[in-house]
Amino acid sequence: MVLTSLSPQENPSPAYICPLDQACSYLEEAARELKLDRNILEILSNPRKVVTVSIPVKRDDGEVQVLAGHRVQHCDILGPYKGGIRYHPAVTLREVSALAMLMTWKCALLGIPYGGAKGGIALDPKSYSIGELERITRRYTSELIKDIGPTVDIPAPDMGTSAREMAWMMDTYSVNVGHAVPGVVTGKPLSIGGSRGREMATGRGVMIIVREALADLGKSLVGTRIAIQGFGNVGSAAALLLHQAGAKVIAVSTGTGGVFSDVGLDIPALKTYVAQNRRSIVGFPQASAIGNTELLTLPCDVLIPAALENQITQDNVDRIHARIIAEAANGPVTLQANQALEARGVTVLPDILTNAGGVVVSYLEWVQGLSYVFWDEERVNRELENLMVQAYRQAIQQTKVRQISLRLAAYTLGVGRVAQAFTDRGLYP
């Protein structure tokens, strides 16, 4: 069976779907549609390398704590591995393995010469000081020093990490090899080779895909009612860009609660409020309170889950009223819920397409770093727009040719391109 070396994870609820099981199910569905050779499917079902390292860290009070850090490298048939590093209490090896697989299909779908990888440490960043986080990040990087590099595996920020952690990773790697290597990570500060536009990239990609999907329905963003679950880097960037484009963002939420306004939230004012209130949206004076779960079932035109996986399940799918669901998070809609939504005619914009803006601009940052020629933000955004729209149009064309859903179309394109590369390159030895 797929990934037999990874022990199963206890399910927190009957509706919970293991991210790895779900990722493998989508792969198998795409393989059936493509009539993929079973030997290639066997290769694609398993990561090439799984690394788990021990991270001893001295806390500020002198106590030593040992954490486990993971890095899963799924496939590098198209180019170096690429994927984020997440710091979150729910990080597991199975979750990281699923995300590495999804990154492989995402890069192939977008036409980016990367393979998929993902890394993470099960910790709550809020429970550690900045000094402790730096020591954790540098030790984690040191343990992976032989497994990462600008032509091998290029980490990036993810949930719980940012440009700060990428700067620490770049510095640690550079010190170990004896010279500055800006291309070892992406999502860095501008001062050390980061790219303009990177911070807003994933949210901008979400906006672009939502805009294109609405256009196909004969609608525009102006006046469109949108609810966003999650107001972190991705959710807040998407909210701001959608607001600027004329959409009505009627609700946003985080794990601690949400806010709602039927006439549309003032997103710039909300971002200012969040910055002044320790990143909390609770109590925003220009809106009423709403629960995180309640937000998902609001009557709206577009629902954007931008938090964690398993948010729309068989338990709540019948109460979803949105006509378009844009997966800004990875795996927020379970397989069963996705089937129910498609049966009702709801458009589900799949994660490997919708949230690909971040890896696109990471790729553009990598290209700039390797060439030591850096672009202005206008060019970065233009290149991002071209690649996102191109991928969306190709996926839409695939739905028409094969008479399949948009999700399956995206997977057949991504999986098919990787499979073709295996066929062309052959198996060594």
| Stretch (H or E) spanning 421 | helix 406-425
Burial class from Cβ neighbours inside 10 Å (0-12, 13-18, 19+) for residue 289 reads middle
What tokens does 309 get?
């996986």
Burial class from Cβ neighbours inside 10 Å (0-12, 13-18, 19+) for residue 316 reads middle
Catalytic residue positions, numbered: 118
Q: What is the pLDDT of residues 48-95, one digit of tens each?
A: 999 999 999 999 999 999 999 999 999 999 999 999 999 999 999 999
Q: Which residues lie below 8 Å from residue 344, measured CB to CB, with a gap of 6+?
A: none
Q: pLDDT at position 309, please?
A: 86
Q: Tokens 């498609």 belong to which residue?
A: 342
Q: Which fold has domain 47-181?
A: Rossmann fold (3.40.50)
3-state SS, residue 39: helix
Q: pLDDT at position 365, please?
A: 96
Q: pLDDT at position 4, please?
A: 38
CB atoms within 10 A of CB 384: 24
Q: pLDDT at position 8, please?
A: 43
Q: What is the pLDDT of residues 340-364, one digit of tens each?
A: 999 999 999 999 999 999 999 999 9
Q: pLDDT at position 16, please?
A: 63
Q: What is the CA radius of gyration of the chain?
A: 21
Angle, in degrees to the nearest 10, between helices 335-343 and 19-34: 50
| CATH 3.40.50.720 domain position(s) in the chain | 201-354
| CATH 3.40.50.10860 domain position(s) in the chain | 47-181
Q: What is the DSSP letter of 198?
A: -
Q: pLDDT at position 15, please?
A: 56
Q: pLDDT at position 254, please?
A: 87
Pick the CATH number of 201-354 from 1.10.150.530, 3.40.50.720, 3.40.50.620, 3.20.20.70: 3.40.50.720
Q: pTM above the 0.95 mark?
A: no
**Positions of the chain with pLDDT under 70:** 1-16
CB atoms within 10 A of CB 280: 14
Burial class from Cβ neighbours inside 10 Å (0-12, 13-18, 19+) for residue 45 reads middle
What tokens does 53 get?
């390292």
